[in-house]
Amino acid sequence: MRKDRKIRIVLAKPGLDGHDRGAKLLVRIFMEAGMEVIYTGLRQTPEMIVATALQEDADVIGLSSLSGVHNYFFPRVTELLREKGMADVLVVGGGIIPDEDIAGLKKAGIAAIFGPGTPTTEIVEFIRANVRK
Amino acid sequence: MFDKDALGKIKTAKDKWEKEILDGALGKEKERKDVFTSISGEPIERLYTPLDVSDLDYNEQLGYPGQFPFTRGVQPTMYRGRFWTMRQYAGFGSARESNARYRYLLEQGQTGLSVAFDLPTQAGYDSDHPLSMGEVGKVGVAVDCIGDMRVLFDKIPLDKVTTSMTINAPATVLLAMYLAIADEQGISYEKLGGTVQNDILKEITVRGQYIYPPRPSMKLTVDLIEYCFKNVPRWNSISISGYHIREAGSTAAQEAAFTIADGIAYVQACVERGLDVDKFAPRLSFFFNAFTNVVEEVAKFRAARRVWARIMKERFGAKDPRSLMLRFHVQTGGVTLTAQQPLNNIIRVTLQAYAAALGGCQSLHTNSYDEALCLPTEQAVTVALRTQQIVAEESGATDSIDPLAGSYMVEALTDKIEKQVFDYLEKIDNMGGTLKAIEKNYIQKEIQQSSYRFQKEIENNERVYVGINKYTMEEAPPANLLKVDMKVGQAEAEKLRKMRAARDKKRWEKALENLRKVSEKNENVMSAVIEAVKAEATIGEICDVWREIYGEYKPKQSF
């Protein structure tokens, strides 16, 4: 990534889940951390999310789900990224995600899962450390 | 409550105490913080005295339970007569599985049902719609058609229970299915009791399960209210909800203010429809959150009752005392639960339930301790139900009405929240009303701001959250979490396919055609919806008729 460029992050709510308090909070946190944030809003399919990431030239995709559909939606996003040759986009997730699901999600290419109570500073630091350079 | 003379003496004594006792104590040891604030960020005084409630007029501001302005409660005997309705929100997987959970809860002493629908149902999509992928049966039960509703209420006589349904954008469709099942069970509509949430404005501002733009959505809301008051007289046709406003990050005062602002918009819309306020207002009900700060919550409930009574009387000219009563359901605060050390959540829920009881709720859902981890397990649900049974039976909160009244702090905070609510209402009025304030993103932004402030307080360690930023510890990953089988989706889709193939095509086509005509003519849709569900039209098919006529809502994002 060019040094003069800000980290570009697409924040998305996959599926029909309407719990967006965390996502909206992170929009502001990421903006304050000097990132460019594109928030998709609710009701996104994996195809819509990846299309947004492509169009916005995103470095990072953040997925938020509190309705229990992460095992379907998150791996589908990384699969589509690989198909489109965008495998270097960092994908992170958050929400209500049982510990036992995390290993499977990481195997599918989700770099990190941030559960309830995670300090937002930890998320920002992780992204800075792991985004494509 | 105090005359000038007495207040003067109290003031003199307070000054003396500060000088002779307090200053010395502060000199020896500073207080823990310079400023103490409630969880809503409101400054809290060191000590409340009669000086903080010097203007309080007992008869005017408090009065008696069951009497204007209802600060002390909506019924004359409150829990001395009977406890609140213990109503646990439940539903997952297929209608068959949910039916089993309902019958279990009824056997355990629960007194009312509360149906959680899955997100496709809440958003008006069938189980086989592409957006339903992965969501079927997840956060609630999947209901596509009348057949599912029949299974959901199998062996549950609808005249013996009251049923609350958390359904908003497609509320007309689910209520129509419920009424159709009542017809099948041979029970007349007059005997049905229950609630549909039917509160679309908070879906648009905070909860996200909207379908249509605000104005046509309001039309459907009012159709349901109008139909119920003519045909289903015991049904609570709307539950005006602050719960989700609070969950989204608002303060206690904002929760009360924006909920009441939504309430005003609904009453206004019904009046504009030509309904007599005293005919429908008694069936309006509310739904609030309860956080762990007991005194602030109690003050919020009392203030909300007083504000609503005044608004209904003064703004809408309601005369029937029942029109002035703010009756409400409470759910304990979902966002207050932690994934860390989840058993601690039982204590949080206990305090929150206690606040709801001291605040005079009409029904209560207590959250399960595992809800920050997964959908609640049966064990956790049972503990949650027992928690409210202990509050009701053992704590003593139910023996005397409004037991915290007269506390200088409770009365001072009640007055303060009341003032904050009226200030917000004035601002919203000046913007041209609730719908305008929502369209301008004003309400959404106010809530986001509070959510941000709270998060910052936690991260800067200005506020302690046990298990999050203090008293943390290493834990083994939690076990025994409830899982919903992904196969529910396939099974539901298969069932739908069979039903669509077997139904009477002519009757189905005619019913949907009639629904379209009625909707285009801007008439009340309820009867046509009931006909359509009886003709086995699915929720997706019915909602599609309106998607074509009204379009779909797409919120503007702004930060």
Q: Is B256:B330 a contact under the CB 8 Å cutoff?
A: no
* Residue B3 Cα distances to A8, A104, B56, B60, B460, angstroms: 65, 70, 11, 16, 45
For residue B165, the cross-strand partners are B115, B196
* DSSP-derived pairing of the beta strands A8-12 and B284-290: unpaired
Contacts of B340 in chain A (CB under 8 A): 117
| DSSP classification of residue B367 | P
- Confidence check: pLDDT of A122 > 60: yes
Considering chain B, what percentage of its residues have pLDDT values greater than 70? 99
CA torsion B348-B351-B355-B357 (nearest 10°) is 110
Report how far residue A54's alpha carbon sits from residue B423's, in angstroms, rounded to the nearest whole number.
Answer: 46
DSSP annotation of A44 reads B
User: ∠B70-B266-B253 over CA atoms, to 5°?
Assistant: 50
Token pair, residue B525, equals 């849709």
B481 Cβ under 8 Å from any chain A Cβ? yes
Q: Are B488 and B136 within 8 A, CB to CB?
A: yes
pLDDT (mean) for B380-399: 96
CA proximity to B534, closest of B126, B187, B146, B149: B146
Residue B108 confidence (pLDDT): 85
Judging contacts by C-beta atoms under 8 Å, the chain B residues touching residue A25 are 249, 448, 451-452, 455
Q: Give, rounded to a whole angstrom, the gap between the first and last alpha carbons of chain B.
A: 46
pLDDT, position B139: 83
Q: What SS3 state is found at A124?
A: helix
B48, B56 Cβ separation under 8 angstroms: no
Q: How confident is the model at residue B516 (pLDDT cuts 50, 70, 90)?
A: very high
B residues 90-129 near A, CB within 8 Å?
A: 119-120, 122-123, 125
Tell me if B372 and A31 make a contact (CB, 8 A cut-off): no
Q: What angle do CA B61, B65, B67 make, to 5 degrees?
A: 70
The DSSP call for residue A14 is: B
Determine how β-strand B328-332 pairs with β-strand A36-39. unpaired
Report whether B271 contacts B277 (CB < 8 A): yes
Token look-up 């996959």 returns A14
- Integer angstrom CA distances of residue B299 from B73, B252, B462: 12, 9, 24
Pick from B138, B203, B249: which is nearest to A21 by CB? B249
Q: Which of B135, B208, B338 sits opposite A116 (nearest CB)?
A: B338
**DSSP H stretches of helix in B110-213:** 119-122, 146-152, 171-185, 200-202
Contact criterion met (CB below 8 Å) for B557 and A41: yes
Q: B209-213, B370-374, B422-426: lowest mean pLDDT where?
A: B370-374
pLDDT at B486 over 80: no
Q: Do A31 and B486 touch (CB under 8 A)?
A: no
Domains with residue ranges and CATH for chain B: 58-459 (3.20.20.240)
d(CA B170, CA B224): 10
Assess B207–A contact: CB distance below 8 Å, yes or no. yes
Q: In the predicted model, is pLDDT for residue B47 greater than 70?
A: yes
- The conformation of residue B165, written as its DSSP 8-state character, comes to E
Contact B105, B88 (CB under 8 A): yes
pLDDT digits (tens, 9 = 90+) for B300-347: 999 999 999 999 999 999 999 999 999 999 999 999 999 999 999 999
Q: How confident is the model at residue B399 (pLDDT cuts 50, 70, 90)?
A: very high
Confidence label for B144 from pLDDT (cuts 50, 70 and 90) = very high
Confidence of residue A68 (pLDDT cuts 50, 70, 90): confident
User: What are the backbone dihedrals phi and psi of residue B141, each rounded to the nearest 5 degrees, phi first?
Assistant: -85, 145
* pLDDT for residue B372: 85
H-run or E-run covering B342: none
Report the pLDDT value the prediction gives residue B337, as an integer from 0 to 100. 96
- Note whether B452 contacts A: Cβ–Cβ < 8 A: yes
Cβ B555–A41 below 8 Å, yes or no?
A: yes
pLDDT at B373: 83
Q: Residue B46's pLDDT band (boundaries 50, 70, 90)?
A: very high
Residue with tokens 């009424």: B179
Question: What is the predicted ipTM?
Answer: 0.88
| Strand B85-86 to B89-90 pairing | unpaired
Q: Are strands B36-37 and B43-44 parallel, antiparallel or unpaired?
A: antiparallel
Which domains, ranges and CATH numbers included, belong to chain A? Answer: 8-130 (3.40.50.280)
Q: Quick one: average pLDDT of A96-112? A: 94
pLDDT given for residue A2 in this prediction: 54
**B85 - beta bridge partners?**
B363
**In whole angstroms, how far apart are CA B544 and each of A87, B196, B261, B512?**
37, 21, 30, 10
Q: Which two tokens stand for residue B509?
A: 């086509």
pLDDT at B402: 98
Instruction: Give yes or no for residue A4 having a pLDDT over 80.
Output: no
Q: Which chain B residues are within 8 Å of A27, Cβ to Cβ?
A: 559
State yes or no: pLDDT of B298 exceeds 70: yes
Cβ within 8 Å of B, A 10-39? 15-21, 24-25, 27-29, 31, 39
Mean pLDDT of chain A: 94
Query: What are the pLDDT digits (tens) for B181-218?
Result: 999 999 999 999 999 999 999 999 999 999 999 999 99
Q: Which amino acid is at B436?
A: K
Interface residue A68 vs chain B (CB under 8 A): yes
- Mean pLDDT of all residues in chain B? 95
Query: Structure tokens of A92?
Result: 């992170």
User: Please, which residues have CB within 8 angstroms of residue B497's CB and are 6 or more apart in sequence?
Assistant: B128
Closest listed residue to residue B85, CA positions, set B350, B298, B388, B299: B388
Q: Count CB neighbours of B146 within 10 A.
A: 21
How much is the pLDDT for A3? Answer: 60
Residues whose CB is less than 8 angstroms from the CB of residue B50 and which lie 6 or more positions away in sequence, other chains included:
B1, B2, B6, B7, B10, B408
Judge whether B377 and B345 are in contact, CB under 8 Å: no
CA B345 from chain centre, in angstroms, equals 20
**Residue from B92, B119, B447 whose CB has the most chain A CBs within 10 Å, to mutate:** B119
Residues 6+ apart with CB under 8 A from B20: none
Residue B530 banded pLDDT, cuts 50, 70, 90: very high
Residue with tokens 């719609």: B129
Q: How confident is the model at residue B220 (pLDDT cuts 50, 70, 90)?
A: very high
Contact B139 A73 (CB under 8 A): no
B69-125 pLDDT tens trace:
999 999 999 999 999 999 888 777 789 989 998 998 888 887 788 899 999 999 999
Tell me which of B92 and A121 has the higher pLDDT. Answer: A121
pLDDT reading at B1 higher than 80? no
Q: What's the confidence (pLDDT) of residue A53?
A: 97
Give yes or no for residue B393 having a pLDDT over 80: yes
Minimal-distance CA residue of chain B relative to A25: B452
